[in-house]
């Protein structure tokens, strides 16, 4: 089970109604942050999310509405006497931009801030992975996949009985070792369990115009959080963004289970935006508000 907290759901600039992009994923006691627009620390406090539980922040690109909250977030961690390192991941240019933030003002964190410039990579962290992929936004920009590792199937009592065995302490040993000898038989985990269960997959587009790389990485996502900045094509001009209708078509083509329309431009009231999405989306979708919480479960 993965919990997604939409800390900021709008784009371009904050408004009275909603903040700029930041998404927190809670997984087994850890908080992974995707983007950190201005005001992210306030949103985290309102959502009762401790910044001290954040060890990794993934920035999609360096337009202000996606990263200007980093400085306040890091200074708050410092104020609370953080000692463990903070890892920040982002596209080309990340090191220069983050170091400039850390040099501004009379401030230097007492803990290590480790900056990772990445392209398309697959990063493994215990029971989950983060995949990054390039998107099309006119500057170096990435989208991200949070992918829980596939889990083994449950013990199948019918399979156990067919082998002439009974449930017992040997099952715990088998879980730990993957193989065990019982009554003279060598038993492997796959011999007595059902099919693997697919791990949860959450995809975040960041800012992008429609692109094939995103469709590929979003394939069969449990949740696709796709930017849908504009309702009308003429409002987009040359801004490298996606419309609501395009985001819905991408999610449908990728066979995503649920689409979250994200990064709404300030010009659109919430009700107008939702009403338009209902007209054009042929798949399950949501338009999250700030501080909405969504629980995502896999197969």
pLDDT at 232: 77
Query: By C-alpha distance, which of 124, 111, 132 is closest to 59?
Result: 132
- Domain around 224: 2-151+197-296
Convert 125-143 to b/e letters by CB count within 10 Å (16 or more is b): eeebbbbbbbbbbeebbbb
User: Among 168, 191, 214, where does a domain finish?
Assistant: 191
Instruction: Say if CB 189 and CB 178 are below 8 A apart.
Output: yes
Question: Are residue 50 and residue 171 in the same domain, yes or no?
Answer: no
Question: Are residue 172 and residue 247 in the same domain, yes or no?
Answer: no
Please report, in range form, the residues annotated as the binding site for Zn(2+): 61, 63, 65-66, 137, 207, 263
Question: Are residue 277 and residue 179 in the same domain, yes or no?
Answer: no
User: Among 191, 214, 246, where does a domain finish?
Assistant: 191
Question: Are residue 146 and residue 278 in the same domain, yes or no?
Answer: yes
| Number of folded domains that form the chain | 2
pLDDT at 210: 95
Instruction: Say if CB 243 and CB 233 are below 8 A apart.
Output: yes
Question: Are residue 183 and residue 221 in the same domain, yes or no?
Answer: no
Question: Are residue 127 and residue 168 in the same domain, yes or no?
Answer: no
Please report, in range form, the residues annotated as the binding site: 61, 63, 65-66, 137, 207, 263
Residue pLDDT tens, the chain, 299 long: 899 999 999 999 999 999 999 999 999 999 999 999 999 999 999 999 999 999 999 999 999 999 999 999 999 999 999 999 999 999 999 999 999 999 988 888 999 999 999 999 999 999 999 999 999 999 999 999 999 998 777 788 888 888 888 888 888 888 788 888 888 889 888 888 877 778 999 999 999 999 999 999 999 999 999 999 999 776 667 789 999 999 999 999 999 999 999 999 999 999 999 999 999 999 999 999 999 999 998 55
Q: What CATH code is carried by the domain that includes residue 67? A: 3.60.15.10
Query: By C-alpha distance, which of 116, 145, 142, 151 is closest to 129?
Result: 145
Question: Are residue 85 and residue 179 in the same domain, yes or no?
Answer: no
Question: Are residue 209 and residue 172 in the same domain, yes or no?
Answer: no
The one catalytic residue in 35, 55, 65, 112 is 65
Q: Which residue has tokens 């800012």?
A: 207
Question: Are residue 174 and residue 55 in the same domain, yes or no?
Answer: no
- Between helix 94-103 and helix 70-79 the angle, nearest 10°, is 50
pTM (2 decimals)?
A: 0.88
Question: Are residue 220 and residue 288 in the same domain, yes or no?
Answer: yes
Q: Is 222 a catalytic residue?
A: no
Q: DSSP strand E in the chain: where?
A: 2-8, 22-27, 30-34, 54-58, 86-90, 113-117, 122-125, 128-134, 142-148, 179-182, 185-188, 201-204, 223-227, 259-262, 285-286, 293-296
Question: Are residue 201 and residue 290 in the same domain, yes or no?
Answer: yes
**Which residues share a beta bridge with 227?**
262
Measured at the alpha carbon of residue 251, what is the angle toward residues 250 and 256, in degrees to the nearest 5?
150
Compute the distance between CA of residue 45 and CA of residue 61 in angstroms, rounded to an integer: 24
pLDDT at 234: 67
Question: Are residue 73 and residue 102 in the same domain, yes or no?
Answer: yes
């Amino acid at each position: 089970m993965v919990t997604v907290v939409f800390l900021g759901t709008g784009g371009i600039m904050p408004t009275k109604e909603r903040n700029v992009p930041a998404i927190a994923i809670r997984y087994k006691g850890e908080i992974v942050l995707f983007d950190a627009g201005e005001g992210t620390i306030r949103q985290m406090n309102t959502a009762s999310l401790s910044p001290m539980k954040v060890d990794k922040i993934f920035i999609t690109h360096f337009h202000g509405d996606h990263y200007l909250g980093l400085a306040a977030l890091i200074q708050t961690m410092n104020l609370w006497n953080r000692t463990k390192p903070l890892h920040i991941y982002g596209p080309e240019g990340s090191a220069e931009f983050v170091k400039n933030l850390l040099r501004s003002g009379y401030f230097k964190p007492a803990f290590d801030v480790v900056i990772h410039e990445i392209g398309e990579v697959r990063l493994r962290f215990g029971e989950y992975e983060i995949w990054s992929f390039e998107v099309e936004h006119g500057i170096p920009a990435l989208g991200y996949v949070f992918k829980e590792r596939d889990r083994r199937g449950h013990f199948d009592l019918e399979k156990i009985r067919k082998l002439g065995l009974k449930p017992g302490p040997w099952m715990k040993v088998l879980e730990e070792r993957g193989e065990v000898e019982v009554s003279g038989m060598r038993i492997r985990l796959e011999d007595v369990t059902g099919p693997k269960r697919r791990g949860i997959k959450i995809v975040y587009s960041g800012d992008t115009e429609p692109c094939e790389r995103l469709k590929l990485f979003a394939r069969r996502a449990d949740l696709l959080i796709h930017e849908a900045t504009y309702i009308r094509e003429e409002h987009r001009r040359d801004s490298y963004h996606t419309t609501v209708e395009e985001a819905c078509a991408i999610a449908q083509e990728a066979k995503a289970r649920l689409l979250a329309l994200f990064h709404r431009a300030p010009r659109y009231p919430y009700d107008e935006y939702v009403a338009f999405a209902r007209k054009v989306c042929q798949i399950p979708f949501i338009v999250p508000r700030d501080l909405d919480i969504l629980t995502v479960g896999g197969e």
